[in-house]
């Protein structure tokens, strides 16, 4: 973890964060609000919005939340057309963001058939990668061009087939995007829910690297950071595990209990939320182009956030550019046109 002395001007930052209403995102929000930052949070439904606010009322008064929290309603990350409403929301508003956090993510390992987005795209790719790709293309112009500005993307070390989680089951691999469109839509060629999730995390890193290159070419000072929180089990199988826990409830309970209580390899959701807060606020990450951070297990129930290398495939600049172009073409095919960043 970072030293508290490295936390800079943690008050009054303007922050956009996806996946804020549960899990890691929720506990990071508690920290951001504690230090009086201004949060903009897209949420899919009124039910989730109401539940989110009620949960936060356990920590802050209603008047406090009204001052520091703005919820952007009816934003479904599984619907590209719906995401366009974000741009409409910010039109004619004099808002500039210090920090963009792309934290929303899902997985449904154990499912035999793909879940799909509104556009018919396999859901983990649609939400974990494509939605965030589109959001950045829509809204990057309202991120401050400042050495303290940053874009943070929650990824995972399972993108790497050599990692302790990535080498179990189907391994990540995009095969240079050959036949990739057939894997994520249409006939969902060779569908595997576990591999789909790992590939989406690989796409997160490739996207981040290409984004960093494009920002640097435009001489913008924004840091781009991907991070892997480690093995985290939100309460009651909610948040990130809300789908996969349904497909194998008993297996989920057994695995989560063994991982957290017997093996001590999991990270608490509260500590992971605090880590995300520190990544957003640590002055050591000012103006650094691109960085990957991993919350690595160092002993029983103890983790350390460290700068780490990504997989060989995630380090391929040509593949990163190819994925960016593929994602642009895919958005265009549904009539939602990303800005050419």
**Which tens digit of pLDDT belongs to each residue from 262-283?**
444 456 889 899 999 999 999 9
Instruction: Give the model confidence (pLDDT) of 155-214 as tens digits.
Output: 999 999 998 888 989 999 999 999 999 999 999 999 999 999 999 999 999 999 999 999
**Does the residue 67 lie in any domain?**
yes
- Domain count along the chain: 1
**Does the residue 52 lie in any domain?**
yes
Instruction: Give the model confidence (pLDDT) of 204-222 as tens digits.
Output: 999 999 999 999 999 999 9
Instruction: Give the model's pLDDT for residue 301.
Output: 60
Q: Residue 117 has which token pair?
A: 């987005």
> Would you place residue 6 in the very low, low, confident or very high pLDDT band (cuts 50, 70, 90)?
low
Using the predicted structure, report yes or no on whether residue 238 has a pLDDT greater than 70.
no
Instruction: Give the model's pLDDT for residue 338.
Output: 77
**Does the residue 340 lie in any domain?**
no
**Does the residue 341 lie in any domain?**
no
Instruction: Give the model's pLDDT for residue 341.
Output: 76
> Would you place residue 9 in the very low, low, confident or very high pLDDT band (cuts 50, 70, 90)?
low
> Would you place residue 319 in the very low, low, confident or very high pLDDT band (cuts 50, 70, 90)?
very high
pLDDT mean across residues, the chain: 88
**Does the residue 267 lie in any domain?**
yes
Distance CA 84, CA 267 (A): 35
Which of 78-82, 208-212, 246-250, 336-340 bottoms out in mean pLDDT, i.e. has the lowest? 246-250
Using the predicted structure, report yes or no on whether residue 232 has a pLDDT greater than 70.
no
Distance CA 8, CA 109 (A): 39
Using the predicted structure, report yes or no on whether residue 252 has a pLDDT greater than 90.
no
**Does the residue 337 lie in any domain?**
no
CB atoms within 10 A of CB 335: 10
> Would you place residue 337 in the very low, low, confident or very high pLDDT band (cuts 50, 70, 90)?
confident
Which of 76-80, 87-91, 288-292 bottoms out in mean pLDDT, i.e. has the lowest? 87-91
Using the predicted structure, report yes or no on whether residue 146 has a pLDDT greater than 90.
yes
Cα dist from 201 to 105, 130, 281, whole Å: 9, 11, 23
User: What string of DSSP letters covers 40-98?
Assistant: EEE-S-HHHHHHHHHHHTTTS-HHHHHHHEEEE-S--TT-HHHHTHHHHHHTT----BS
Task: State the virtual CA torsion across 139, 140, 143, 147 in degrees, nearest 10.
Answer: 170
**Residue 180's Cα: distance from chain center in Å?**
22
Query: What is the domain extent for residue 299?
Result: 4-332
β-bridge pairing 290-299 and 302-307: antiparallel
Q: Is the entire prediction scored with pTM above 0.85?
A: yes
CB 88 within 8 A of CB 57: no
**Does the residue 124 lie in any domain?**
yes
Q: Above pLDDT 70, what percent of the chain?
A: 84
**Does the residue 339 lie in any domain?**
no
Sheet holding 69-72, edge to edge: 69-72, 38-42, 14-17, 99-102, 150-154, 223-228, 290-299, 302-307
Instruction: Give the model's pLDDT for residue 268.
Output: 83
- What is the CATH number for 73? 3.40.50.720
């Amino acid at each position: 973890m970072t030293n508290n002395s490295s936390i800079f001007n943690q008050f009054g930052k303007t922050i956009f964060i996806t996946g804020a209403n549960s899990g890691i995102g929720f506990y990071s929000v508690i920290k951001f609000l504690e230090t009086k930052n201004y949060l903009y949070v897209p949420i899919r439904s009124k039910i989730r919005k109401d539940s989110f606010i009620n949960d936060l009322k356990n920590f802050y008064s209603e008047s406090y939340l009204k001052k520091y929290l703005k919820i952007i309603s009816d934003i479904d990350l599984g619907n590209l057309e719906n995401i366009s409403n974000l741009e409409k929301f910010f039109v004619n508003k004099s808002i500039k963001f210090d920090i963009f956090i792309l934290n929303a993510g899902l997985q449904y390992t154990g499912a035999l058939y793909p879940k799909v987005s509104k556009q018919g795209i396999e859901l983990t790719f649609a939400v974990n990668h494509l939605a965030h790709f589109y959001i950045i293309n829509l809204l990057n112009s309202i991120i401050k061009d400042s050495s303290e500005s940053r874009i943070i993307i929650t990824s995972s070390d399972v993108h790497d087939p050599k990692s302790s989680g990535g080498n179990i089951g189907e391994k990540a691999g995009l095969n240079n995007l050959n036949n990739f469109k057939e894997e994520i839509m249409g006939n969902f060629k060779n569908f595997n829910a576990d591999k789909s999730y790992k590939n989406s995390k690989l796409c997160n890193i490739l996207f981040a690297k290409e984004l960093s290159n494009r920002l640097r070419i435009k001489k913008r000072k924004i840091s781009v950071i991907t991070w892997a929180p480690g093995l985290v089990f939100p309460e009651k199988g909610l948040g990130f595990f809300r789908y996969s826990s349904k497909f194998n409830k008993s297996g989920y309970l057994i695995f989560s209990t063994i991982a957290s209580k017997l093996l001590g390899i999991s990270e608490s959701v509260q500590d992971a939320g605090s880590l995300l807060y520190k990544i957003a606020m640590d002055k050591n990450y000012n103006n650094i182009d691109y960085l990957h951070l991993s919350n690595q297990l160092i002993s029983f129930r103890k983790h350390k956030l460290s700068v780490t290398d990504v997989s060989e495939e995630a380090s391929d600049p040509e593949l990163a550019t190819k994925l960016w172009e593929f994602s642009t073409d895919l958005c265009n095919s549904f009539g939602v046109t990303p800005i050419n960043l």
